[in-house]
Structure 1
Amino acid sequence: MTASSTSATSATGATSPAYGYFLSCEEFTPAQLLDQARRAADAGFTRLAISDHFHPWIGAQGNSPFVWSVIGALSQVTDLPVTTLVTCPTVRLHPAVTAQAAATSSVMLDGRFALGVGTGEALNEHVLGDRWPAFDERMEMLEEAVGVMRELFTGREVSHRGRHYTVQNARLYTAPDAALPVYVSAFGPKAAAAAGRFGDGLVAMGPDEDVISAFREAGGVGKPLLGGLKVCWGEDRDKAVDTMHRLWPSEQLPGELNQILPSPAHFEQAVELVRREQIEESVPCGDDVDAHVAALREYADAGFDEVYVGQVGPDQEAFFAAYRDRVLPAATAA
């Protein structure tokens, strides 16, 4: 089995994405993430995504386990494919080290692993004291890093001297048994065009038509689209909105703030500007099945191949029960 994208055809003949669960390393402990992975499989989710952060966005989220350790543990508790959404292989970790981590993850998951990558955030990548480059340079670094990693994934000895990275006599003796997909994250058309040029697929956190068009026009036709969204299932909608507003207000920050703010303390200052009404208007909260299905179908209608849903807050049991019995059946049949 590989980590390639799959989709299903609904009763109406429309294509339905593969629905996965989004494991948030920023919000949950390693033990909780493993429990969620088991619950996700039982609830009918067909794959997993996992974030890679050195810091949470804000202190209230409260966690930041090392993603590669968690992925190793996931390989022992689930048969679901796993994709990083996303890791940054350019500053905090050298691409050769990231390649070794990804290759080992692929082997442990019997090929059910895909590497989602992005240009990163200062929040996570500046922690070693390195300069945080502007976007154009970060994207240049990412493209070079992806090229280095792909060479290493072959299992051959690699020496590379580029503008940003040097690799000398490096070989992955534990190499992937098959091609390891590398999906590239984009929040705007410029990054999406880069993803179309050198990525095996696009990661987008919303069904933005401009982003998708830029990706396809730059070489992304036929390559998979992966998306993710946060929800907060709960019987009390007001309480669910409050939970989302307390734990994930950073999702509503505009522009490049998420890429350039350097610490959770700075994010806590910035999210004071996020109004509760913004959450109510933009995030599925509460137990209205139609609202949750509608959010999923936006991705399906935009042509996404994989959609990952992350439940915010502690009420995981109710979320998985509701998605198993009500939401996922309705979404795949819509």
Structure 2
Amino acid sequence: MVNFGYTLMCEQSGPTELVDDAVRAEEAGYDFAAISDHFSPWLAEQGHSPFAWSVLGAAAYATQHLELMTMVTCPTRRYHPAVVAQQAATIGVMSQGRFTLGVGAGENLNEHVAGAWPHRTQRHEMLAEALEIINPLLDGETVRHSGTYYEVPEAKLWDRPEEGVPVVMAVSGHDSLEVAASLSDGVVAVQPDRSLRIPDKPFYGQVAMCYGPDESECRKRALDQFRWFGLQWPVMAELPDPRAFDAASSFVTEDDVASAISCGPDLDRHLQAIRSYVDAGCTHIALVQIGGDFQHDFLDWSESTLLPALRS
């Protein structure tokens, strides 16, 4: 059985709207809500970027059954790993054990606000060392750590769920998969690739779509707000700000976006896009509706049409 989630996109909605959307997603029947954690939007046209952890706290208190997760946060530059552990433990308590911490190596777009952006190899080393701090803290241990990148003279979490907080890690290849296998409880994939699975562990994917009654309008909206989508991770991780994403995606056409993102009212087209992640073995799939002003219509359609079709 695949669990289906709704994505709270901090880049395209304000904080109060995101909490309201989480409540509506629970009512619509979604199993979980995943939230992005950015300091900046990908493009200025998206127009938002509230603090994800504040939104999570409010959403945890406002919902009853909806699982919550970060997809993903970067525990290496903007946040010290011990602070990420404290944030995750607090949301775990507030949600009564409904929170999963999703982590990744991050992007220049968000992390450079706190210092220079390291090389990819260094970033992966930093992420592995961060998990060596986060995991024992979430397990209730007192941590003393002196490493290559981080110092923790002594730290203990005083408020944490007794069952701990699951940690899943974004992976893109063999090297990161090895780290995830040893230091996380599951993986988040950036593409529907069955080889990125770890046996008997959760496997998360994410599918962007642009639902609406007019396919032409949906294609235009997807181009306006998600044209960065096709840049691929080696590029996306390095660009520093929305202006750079705008320049790098200026060559992208409406047809390019529509070939990668399902647009319009056709249910079968959206199901086909999701099916590739089901076929890859994902146990959890988070859906992204493009356009902050179109979430209510999407959630209504999810309740009446999309989720019943997915579960049948």
Residue matched to 1:182? 167
Which among 222, 226, 244 is matched to residue 244 of structure 1?
A: 222
CA-to-aligned-CA distance 1:265-292 (integer Å, 9 cap, x gap)? 1111111021211111111110000011
1:140-159 matched pairs, under 5 angstroms: 140-159=125-144
Which among 264, 276, 289 is matched to residue 298 of structure 1?
A: 276
Relative to structure 1, the CA distance from residue 71 to residue 307 in structure 2 (aligned partners, 3 Å threshold; closer, same or farther) is: same
CA-to-aligned-CA distance 1:88-115 (integer Å, 9 cap, x gap)? 0001110011111111010101011000
Check if 1:329 corresponds to 2:276: no
- CA offset at residue 175 of structure 1? 2.1
- CA offset at residue 45 of structure 1? 0.8
Residue matched to 2:21? 36
Give the partner amino acid of 2:282: F
Residue matched to 1:118? 104
CA-to-aligned-CA distance 1:195-235 (integer Å, 9 cap, x gap)? 23322111013212xxx31x34xxx2111100111111101
Give the partner amino acid of 1:176: P
Residue matched to 1:223? 201
Which among 317, 323, 331 is matched to residue 296 of structure 2?
A: 317
Give the partner amino acid of 1:228: Q
Alignment check: 8 A CA contact 1:253 1:274 kept: no
Alignment check: 8 A CA contact 2:228 2:245 kept: yes
- CA offset at residue 165 of structure 1? 0.7
Alignment check: 8 A CA contact 2:180 2:187 kept: yes
**SS in structure 2 of the partner of residue 241 of structure 1:** helix
Residue matched to 1:194? 179
**SS in structure 2 of the partner of residue 126 of structure 1:** helix
Alignment check: 8 A CA contact 2:23 2:59 kept: no
Worse-superposed segment, 238-247 or 323-332: 323-332
CA-to-aligned-CA distance 1:65-121 (integer Å, 9 cap, x gap)? 111111110012112110100000001110011111111010101011000000000
Give the partner amino acid of 1:190: D
Q: Could you list the runs of 5+ residues in structure 1 that have no partner in the other structure?
A: 1-7, 9-16
Give the partner amino acid of 1:315: F
TM-score under structure 2 length normalisation: 0.96
Residue matched to 1:63? 48
Residue matched to 1:23? 8
Alignment check: 8 A CA contact 1:297 1:331 kept: no
Q: Could you list the runs of 5+ residues in structure 2 that have no partner in the other structure?
A: none
For the residues of structure 1 that align with 2:136 and 2:55, how far apart are their CA atoms?
25
For the residues of structure 2 that align with 1:64 and 1:140, how far apart are their CA atoms?
27
1:270-281 matched pairs, under 5 angstroms: 270-281=248-259
Alignment check: 8 A CA contact 1:203 1:225 kept: yes
For the residues of structure 1 that align with 2:61 and 2:233, how far apart are their CA atoms?
39
For the residues of structure 1 that align with 2:156 and 2:249, how far apart are their CA atoms?
44
- CA offset at residue 39 of structure 1? 1.5
Identity of aligned residues (%): 41
Alignment check: 8 A CA contact 1:206 1:229 kept: no
Moved over 4 A (4+): none
Give the partner amino acid of 1:252: G
Count residues with an aligned counterpart.
310
TM-score under structure 1 length normalisation: 0.90
Residue matched to 1:307? 285
For the residues of structure 1 that align with 2:175 and 2:257, how far apart are their CA atoms?
27
